Structure 1
Amino acid sequence: MYITISPQKISGDYSQSVGDFVSYLEKENEGKPIAEQEHFFNQYGEEITGSEVIKEIDGNTAKLKKKEPKFYSITINPSIRELKQLQDPKRDLKTYTQELMKDYAKAFHREINGKEVSVNDIKYFAKIEYQRSFKGTDKEIQENQPYATKILSFKHEIRAIEEGRNTGNIKKLENQISRLEKQAPHQQNGKRIVRGMPKEGSQTHIHIIVSRKDMSNSVSLSPGGKHKASEVMMHGKIVKRGFDRNGFFAASEKTFDKLFHYKRNYVESYKARKTLLKNPKIYFSVLSGLPTNERAVAYKLLSKSGVPTMNIPTNKLQLTVKAIKKIKQGFDKAIQSSSIGI
């Protein structure tokens, strides 16, 4: 499970309307019959339209300044192994989202009218998506870019020749393009990976749009605050503040495991991921000390995610900085692809 929380920005500025983001999330419905389209849902209902989402989120920004986020995006990325545990993926993921948003509310160190924040205070809309496309920021696109530039240059030459603006051997240029297409380092189904190409494999994930303001449009609830849990004096009153991200991420795993009787391996846990980032030696020590069966599953999961398991340290002598750095590169790639929940 890999979960992210982020404010929505356009060219460095916070979005003043959720409209563009909703349009982006609606693209997967284009060309599909109404019966096959995925609609937004929340704690109270389903079949919610994009226009309703825009109206509710944009109308819930009282007293927020232009430089403050109006809404946040939570993205839930289940691993293939987690998805296989579901009996009815669509229904199960909706149920999980509704339970996860209870964890989200509990992560706030806040009170509204003297009561702890609950899911009934959170204005949100969620949507399940089944596809992902390669973006310009993806490693595959960036590393293929030199080849893409040369291919485009050759295509311009061919066009100039065809239009009589230049002379040259079109067949030779076409052969060069064909060779570059095959030489590009990142391929999918025998084709060079390009921007906008759908990613293969299971890409099911959930997008959640969360209003910065509570349901009453009077209290600001920011999951982006630096304060985990503190109290400050405001208008002569002691006010709680903060959001426990670590607690939320950990709780989201426990909720999934409890709902679907999922046996989470060490390498899939948020705790393991944090340990890897903060203290790799402890991470690899725990990994090598797992019971035989669990360790075998862990290695299998890592191997499927592209992590070079042959180089994973198995004792203290092998826990060198060089070895750890090499393995962490593999982990970073697995995290970016959301292929395992580390």
Structure 2
Amino acid sequence: MPISKPHSTLGAKNTGSCTLLVNYLNKENQELEATINTKNSLKEITLLENRKQDFFNHQKEDTSPIEVIDSIDRNIKKLGKTDAKYFAPTISFSQAELKHVISLATEKKNIDNVWQLSNSEYGKYNHLLKNYIKEIMDNYAENFNRQNKGLQTGNDLVYYAKIEHFRKFKGTDEEVKRGLYNSGDYKPGLNSHAHIIVSRKDQTQRLKLTPTTKERSTQRSIGGNSYQVGFDRMKWINKNEKSFDTLFNYRRSAIEKFDNQYILKNGSPREKDLLIKKIDESKRLNKQKNVIKRDFKGPKR
């Protein structure tokens, strides 16, 4: 399942400027630039330049860090000094999901590192991921239930997203503790993920949007005007999963589904046992169907 965390700020305080966070999210570009400065080959330099990632949103594909900071920091009308000014959701994927997206971009099944992609394939892969992030932000806007106030899609938000393709080991990782890797080493495999910076205020600066609220969907009334507040995080995660499966025609197994993963992690012993039996039975039936299909087709010639 795509892991959608609505409230991560990566250690930065979100009551002030987003400058530190934006600079942190530009780290891959900075590392690529440092590598470029050691190269003399035009081919290598071009390859590395094409691997840089810009911020993007519904309206623009190539936004600079300065523009991101200016846009988010100015969108704070009627917010107090100690109020949250922005939130920084993160979106992560499983290896199976990333391999599927890469296969759509390249028609290849054996890619296990983005450096194996040509510049053209890399561009297509990023384009698919960006389209998905835009759908996630449509879901984000919809999940506040403020359509009657003009909050319809990601177009009505002030947000910027950035795709990253690498993760590094930390000292707390088991692989580092066992001496297999050092802290700071790049993790193997596909590690593409997305960081998003989204203003607490919408484009009009009339609405306060807080994805960390404990309220899921609550009706309130002030001066005779009724309005709805809240953000159902479970609903958002489920909608993001469905969007992924629809957009990429992904056939998600039962064990990959968020609802089932949630039960396996947080359910009662009885709920876990019933789910495991249900999944095992589903696997058995699917295996039986595949055998029937194979026998129906007859032997290969």
Q: What's the TM-score, normalizing by structure 1?
A: 0.66
In the TM superposition, what are the counterparts of 1:109-120 in structure 2 within 5 Å?
Answer: 109-111=145-147, 113=149, 115=150, 117-120=152-155
Of 64, 72, 77, 2:92 maps to: 77
Counterpart in the other structure of 1:108: 144
Give the match for residue 163 of structure 2: 128
Structure 1 residue corresponding to 2:178, chosen from 166, 180, 186: 186
2:231 aligns to what SS in structure 1? coil
Note the aligned Cα RMSD (angstroms). 2.4
Q: Which amino acid aligns with 1:121?
A: D
Number of the residue aligned with 2:16 = 16
Match of residue 226 from structure 2: 238
Cα drift, residue 15 of structure 1: 4.3
Which among 236, 240, 247 is matched to residue 235 of structure 2? 247
Q: Percent identity?
A: 32
Q: Distance in 2 between matches of 1:94 and 1:124?
A: 13
Three-state SS of the structure 1 residue aligned to 2:89 is strand
Range with bigger deviation, 271-280 or 22-31: 271-280
Q: Whole-Å Cα distance in 1 between the matches of residues 129 and 212 of structure 2?
A: 25
**Pick from 81, 85, 89: which aligns with 1:66?**
81
Give the aligned residue type for 2:128: D
Corresponding position of 1:268: 256
Write the letter of the residue equivalent to 1:72.
F
Residues 218-233 of structure 1: pairs in structure 2 closer than 5 A = 218-233=206-221
Gaps of 5+ in 1: 145-184, 298-342
What TM-score do the two structures reach when normalised by structure 2?
0.75
Counterpart check, 1:140 vs 2:128:
no
1:282 aligns with 2:271: yes
Q: 288-297 or 69-78, which moves further after superposition?
A: 288-297
Alpha-carbon distance, 1:7 to partner: 5.0
Contact 1:72 1:209 (C-alpha < 8 Å) held by counterparts: yes
Distance 1:20 1:116 in 2: 28
Q: Which among 49, 56, 61 is matched to residue 64 of structure 2?
A: 49
The CA distance in 1 between the partners of 2:15 and 2:187, in whole Å, is 27
1:240-288 Cα offsets, whole Å, 9 max, x none, are 1011111110010111101111111122111012222133432332222
Q: In structure 1, how many angstroms separate the alpha carbons of the residues matched to 2:191 and 2:134?
A: 20
Q: Judging changes above 3 Å, is the alpha-carbon distance between structure 1 residues 9 and 202 closer, same or farther for their aligned structure 2 residues?
A: closer
- Looking at structure 1, the residues matched to 273 and 60 of structure 2 have their Cα atoms a distance apart, in angstroms, of 45
How many residues of Structure 1 are paired with residues of Structure 2 in the alignment? 248
Distance 1:7 1:235 in 2: 35
Cα 1:238–1:139 change in 2 (3 A) is same
Asked if 1 retains the 8 angstrom alpha-carbon contact of 2:219 and 2:227, the reply is yes
Hey, what's the Cα distance between the residues in 1 that align with 2:197 and 2:269?
A: 34
The structure-2 alpha-carbon separation of the partners of 1:274 and 1:290, relative to structure 1 and needing over 3 Å to count, comes to closer
SS in 2 for 1:290: helix
> Quick one: which amino acid aligns to residue 199 of structure 1?
K
Question: Among 133, 136, 150, which residue is 1:97 paired with?
Answer: 133
Question: 2:20 & 2:240 partners in 1: Cα distance?
Answer: 28
Between Structure 1 and Structure 2, whose CA radius of gyration is higher? 1
Alpha-carbon distance between aligned partners in 2 of 1:231 and 1:105, rounded to the nearest angstrom: 17
Separation in 1, partners of 2:165, 2:208: 32
Given that 2:59 and 2:155 are in contact with CA atoms closer than 8 Å, whether structure 1 keeps it comes out as no
Structure 2 unaligned segments of length 5 or more: list them: 37-47, 106-124, 287-301
Q: Name the CA distance, whole Å, in 2 between partners of 1:201 and 1:240.
A: 43
Change (3 A) 1:50 1:257: same
CA displacement 1:293-322 (0-9 Å, x = unmatched): 73699xxxxxxxxxxxxxxxxxxxxxxxxx
Distance 1:296 1:50 in 2: 52
